[in-house]
Structure 1
């Protein structure tokens, strides 16, 4: 499975990362990495002759837009935008069940699951004051429902997700905490959801407002163009269009707004 280059300049490289692929690895025998596909095997190391700087990261299971800086100064410029939350990231996801709201703010803190604290592999949302989560940090995700349907006769909802903060596994943890795990998310379904061929989370659009090189990079939707999904999916109700670039951007405009008349709104936090 190759890595598609979406944009390239002297300062930045933006790629479309496939699902089930690592970003990089210190294991020289590991070939399933973004680095192996686009650069020298050691390019993720600072000691490399031509190091790449991963200013943004995606999980192994997550596909989509990922920005890489070619120089240290470019990484610094992009890194400041991420730190100041001036970037905008939009993900397309498919979650289990039919959500009962149009738009939601999910504000559960995210921390390390104490059961996997030694590896930090699994995170957990602090959904109550009695939560056992370790080293929690504030986290905020916005969710907009796009379409309801059925996958292999089981209810699912296509959603637009916008992370306001950037915690490890944030979108996956927040979706699970609302009772709607991402389709195919083996880890946060407690190892139950293993039948789908992938986890259905895709970083569809990245807006990086660099002064000298503003970037707004978007991929086509990746799910319905894949017969392994579309042949098993039956639409029930399209709540708002999203499958073309223009329609997806219009949905992004909706999720960017603090409030819109006519939408059923929900907040998830420890005060619920």
Structure 2
């Protein structure tokens, strides 16, 4: 496998929006990551276009099959960093809200729906601060399920939408700070008789200001 640090703003695949406009997508760059193999690697999971950070690639069909099975079994752990607007009352907790599609014509947009799919997110407050918009919190998020837009909807439904979220928050379509959501780390039990592999991605430049406002210090957090 390979783990890359996907930049924010790069779609993982050529979906409807990318087809309507000539914009680069992740798959345009995968041929450069063959490293001697006859086939290019493929993404074993997805990150939203505006989410940065760790993305796992399988280098050949057997690797893809094994990675897909690990994801289905819940054996791959993913940790995200997010900056949210507001201040969670508890320093840690579990968000347990079922999710369903917002409307048939809204594509991937989701909403809290008691009749939807079970969805759980564990959160921990890493720091608190403020900017011109008001209180901010730096969260570490662990999705226990893998629903579309799960972290964004769960945070918004809890009363603290992600900074820069133009769908579930109040960020402007143009000129905003960018979605403050980063796939910080993945832990993959790749080998049966060896410790799991942990990979971390440093936070992207567009999140550094808000992270610093919440107490982030690179030397103390590993980058």
Give the TM-score normalised by structure 1.
0.69
Q: What SS does structure 2 have at the residue aligned with 1:149?
A: strand
Instruction: Give the structure with the larger helix fraction.
Output: 2
1:69 paired with 2:61, answer no
Q: Which residue of 2 aligns with 1:121?
A: 108
* Matching of residues 41-120 of structure 1 within 5 Å: 50-114=39-103, 117-120=104-107
Shift in alpha-carbon separation, 1:229–1:13, aligned structure 2, 3 A: closer
String of CA shifts for 1:196-233, please: whole Å, max 9, x gaps.
331000001000111268421101233xxx37852x77
Is the CA contact 1:13–1:69 (under 8 Å) kept in the aligned structure 2? Answer: yes
Q: Determine if contact 1:22/1:59 at 8 Å carries over to the other structure.
A: yes
Specify the SS of the correspondent of 2:162. coil
Moved more, 147-156 or 86-95: 147-156
Residues 208 and 229 of structure 1: is their aligned pair in 2 closer, same or farther, counting only changes over 3 Å? Answer: closer
1:25 maps to: 14
Question: In 2 relative to 1, CA 57–234 (structure 1 residues): closer, same or farther, beyond 3 Å?
Answer: closer
Once residues 206 and 40 of structure 2 are traced to their aligned partners in structure 1, the CA distance between those partners, rounded to angstroms, is 37
Instruction: Judge conservation of contact 1:221–1:243 (CA < 8 Å) in 2.
Output: no
User: SS state of the match for residue 178, structure 2?
Assistant: coil
Query: Offset of 1:152 from its aligned partner?
Result: 2.3
- Aligned-pair distance for 1:122? 0.6
RMSD: 2.8
Comparing 192-201 with 172-181, greater Cα deviation is found at 192-201
Post-superposition shift, 1:25? 1.4
Taking a change above 3 Å as real, the CA distance of residues 229 and 217 of structure 1, as seen in their structure-2 partners, is closer
Say whether 1:180 aligns with 2:169.
Answer: no
C-alpha separation between the residues in 1 aligned to 2:149 and 2:24?
20
Q: Please report how far the alpha carbon of residue 52 of structure 1 lies from its aligned counterpart in structure 2 after TM superposition.
A: 3.3
- Match of 1:24, SS state, is coil
The answer for unaligned runs of 5 or more in structure 1 is 1-11, 44-48, 249-272
Q: Secondary structure at the match of 1:39?
A: helix
TM-score in terms of structure 2 length: 0.83
Count of aligned pairs:
212
Distance 1:233 1:138, change over 3 A: closer
User: 195, 201, 213: which is aligned to 1:235?
Assistant: 213
Q: Indicate whether 1:13 and 2:5 are aligned.
A: no
Q: Could you say which residue in structure 1 is the equivalent of 2:149?
A: 169
Cα distance, 1:98 vs. partner?
Answer: 1.3
Query: Secondary structure of the equivalent of 2:155?
Result: helix
Tell me the secondary structure at the aligned position of residue 56 of structure 1.
Answer: coil
- After TM superposition, the structure 1 = structure 2 runs for residues 214-233 of structure 1, keeping only pairs within 5 Å, are 214-222=196-204, 226=205, 230=209
> 1:185-204 to 2 correspondence within 5 Å?
185-189=165-169, 192-194=170-172, 195-204=175-184
State the match for 2:189 in structure 1: 209
In structure 1, the residue matched to 2:29 is: 37
